[in-house]
Amino acid sequence: MSVMEIIVTYGPRRKEKRVKVVTFKVEVDLLEEIDRHAEKRGLSRSELIREAIMRYIRNNGN
């Protein structure tokens, strides 16, 4: 299974918050699916991943 390393960043719209670049590995097939969903919703890859993480945290407690 191929793995691609990507960088997740907070967009410039979040200047009021401290931000960090996060690097993680993800299978190429999953990355392609992420990109399809992001494009469909008019979001960047980072925005979609950030939204998914925030939704996961809200739904699963801290």
**pLDDT one-digit tens code per residue, 4-30:** 555 555 556 555 677 788 888 999 999
With a threshold of 0.85, does the pTM exceed it? no
Alpha-carbon distance of 10 to 25, in angstroms, equals 18
For residue 13, what pLDDT is reported? 58
CB 6 within 8 A of CB 31: yes
CA distance 33 to 52: 13
* Tens-digit pLDDT profile for residues 24-54: 899 999 999 999 999 999 999 999 999 999 9
